Structure 1
Amino acid sequence: METMENVIAQYLEGHPPAKVLFEGLKSMGNLYLIGGVLREYRDNDGIINLRDIDLISDAPKSQYENFMNTFNPEKNAFGGFKVHCPGLIVDIWRLEETWAYTNQKIKCSKSNYAKFLPQTVFLNMDAIVYDLKNDLWNDDIYNEAVRSGVLDVVLEENPQTALNIVRCFVLQRRYGMELSPDLCRVIIDYCYDNPNAVQELYNIQLGRYKKEILTLRELQENLLHVTNKFYSFM
């Protein structure tokens, strides 16, 4: 059976700049894959059509930054680098500079940063990590989400709450999941603070996915369903 390292390397053969980026980072230290790329692999027993890929590197800071600057990257919302390759967007962070660690949302020793990566994400369906060097999966939270069919919050504090709300509705549709009481509360709090929430979420969706996945009406119905569901818990 092929390792995830071989699967991703073969996929990136069709995206040459991304392959150079991947191989360069791999040569400098360990790499961790997180979130959507791993869901794609689990869903399809392979990688078919990625929109983006998230990588975390433990490479030395100066070496990492010098290498990354050769790709003329953008800064992403979480303080990492974003590289646009033909047909693929690559987001990269240094392990030590993961948003949840630098902002002390999760406190642990640096030696445990890799271990606690699944706890740095907003949604449980994103809490899946693959350690490339050691061929190890860190996926307990993700596996429980799949088993239970409940989409839940892992780390609530996040600089991209609205985007994550959009993503939760997209993932809910894709996997037919229920929303947890905590996730419903986060959504209701966002709507309370944002009177034009439906339009804002719709616009964020278009910015993220470059297409309409959920119509304005569907988003409005989802928010109404969340409200009714949340108050049914009380």
Structure 2
Amino acid sequence: MKSRLAKSRILEFLGRDMGEVHPIQNLKEVLPDLAIFGGMIRDLTLGGTESFRSDIDLVSTASAEEILHFIGGYSPVRNRFGGFRFFFLGRPYDIWSLHDTWAVREGYVQASSIEDLSKTTFFTVDAALFNVRSELFYAPDFCRKSIEGRMLDINLIYNPFPQKMAMKAVDLSIRKRLKMSYRLCEFVLSNGVFEGRNTFYFECLLSHVKNSVGRDFEFSKQLTLDFSVQD
């Protein structure tokens, strides 16, 4: 994924409803290093602007107190991950101080700049970010390779919700037609819950791990998921 193409897709998506009163337009002027990351960047880099319909994740190097001060007009509430959630035009936004993100707060990642956010994600394809004010797209090499190769792999294995991450890996591999690294296959089998759902996927994955040691897994059969995973 070229930076120019990624930036173009992000700006195209934001341009749909980002007028002067849009919170991102306002917040980028007052919150240092305001960046978009997570599901929005992943989906736009893997597909087109029509592929993203979920919440938007924001992070700033500002303190939580500073963030709360500037988003107060949007009626924010604390989310369960240590940040704040607010809504604009019906779309949810989650925003954190960099130092309140889970991996940094728990000491798994040392963060001194907004780019260090790329070290905190569970999936390698989630490690890109877009600095809203400078309009710079940042993705470390491992993230670019994962996006270009359409490969799901583990970036930071420590996560407070391993079961959710396992089932999200299944969801993404099917919806986005992504390959899965052998390491992630083992993680999914150890932490996923397949009882009564996606049993064929589980059987294929189990067979792959047993018979194709060390090799990436690609699931070609399209299934209808009977569960949902939030970004």
What TM-score results when the alignment is normalised by the length of structure 1?
A: 0.74
Q: Structure 1 runs of 4+ off > 3 angstroms? A: 1-9, 43-49, 84-87
Contact 2:10 2:41 in 1 (8 A): no
| 1:53 corresponding residue in structure 2 | 56
Residues 46-99 of structure 1 show CA distances to partners (whole Å, capped at 9, x for unaligned) of: 466522111112234433122334333233232111223444221111122221
Deviations 1:31-60 (A, max 9, x none): 111122223433455466522111112234
Query: Amino acid of the residue matched to residue 23 of structure 1?
Result: Q
Answering whether residue 16 of structure 2 is matched by residue 11 of structure 1, we say yes
Distance 1:5 1:84 in 2: 19
1:141 matched residue in structure 2: 142
Mean Cα displacement is larger for which, 120-129 or 23-32? 23-32
- Cα distance in 2 for residues equivalent to 1:231 and 1:5: 40
The answer to whether the 8 A contact 1:51-1:87 is kept is no
Give the 3 Å change call, closer, same or farther, for CA 49–177 of structure 1 in structure 2: closer
The answer as to 2:117 corresponding to 1:117 is yes
Distance 1:9 1:150 in 2: 26
- SS of 2:114's partner is coil
Match for residue 25 of structure 1?
27
**Aligned letter for 2:40?**
V
Residue correspondence of structure 1 range 175-214 to structure 2 within 5 A: 175-191=176-192, 197-198=193-194
* Distance in 1 between residues matched to 2:179 and 2:44, nearest whole Å: 22
Structure-2 separation of matches of 1:68 and 1:74: 10
Question: Contact (CA 8 Å) 1:35, 1:54: kept in 2 or not?
Answer: yes
Q: Secondary structure at the match of 1:116?
A: helix
Report 1:65-84 matches (<5 A).
Answer: 65-84=68-87
Q: Distance in 2 between matches of 1:105 and 1:49?
A: 29
* Per-residue CA distance 1:167-225 (angstroms, 9 max, x = gap): 2122211332221121112112214xxxxx235xxxxxxxxxxxxxxxx54x2222222
Structure 1 spans left out of the alignment, 5+ residues: 192-196, 200-215
Residue identity matched to 1:180: S
Higher helix content, 1 or 2:
1
- Name which of 195, 198, 203 aligns with 1:224: 203
Change in 2 beyond 3 A, CA 1:94/1:222: same
The root-mean-square deviation of aligned C-alpha atoms, in Å, is 2.8
Contact 1:151–1:168 (CA<8 Å) still a contact in 2? yes
**Percent identity (aligned):** 22
Task: Give the drift of 1:229.
Answer: 2.0
Partner Cα distance (1:120, 1:187) in 2 = 19
Match of 1:92?
Answer: 95
Q: Pick closer, same or farther for the CA change 1:147–1:24 going to 2, 3 Å.
A: closer
Q: Deviations over 1:129-169 (max 9, x none)?
A: 11223322222333211333321111111112222222212
TM-score normalised over the length of structure 2: 0.75
CA 1:6/1:105 → structure 2, altered by over 3 Å: closer, same or farther?
Answer: same
Gaps of 5+ in 2: 215-231
1:24 and 1:60, CA in 2 relative to 1: closer, same or farther beyond 3 A?
Answer: farther
Deviations 1:6-48 (A, max 9, x none): 535423348x9xx542233212122111122223433455466
Count of aligned pairs between the two proteins: 206
**What CA distance in whole angstroms lies between the structure 1 residues aligned with 2:79 and 2:207?**
35
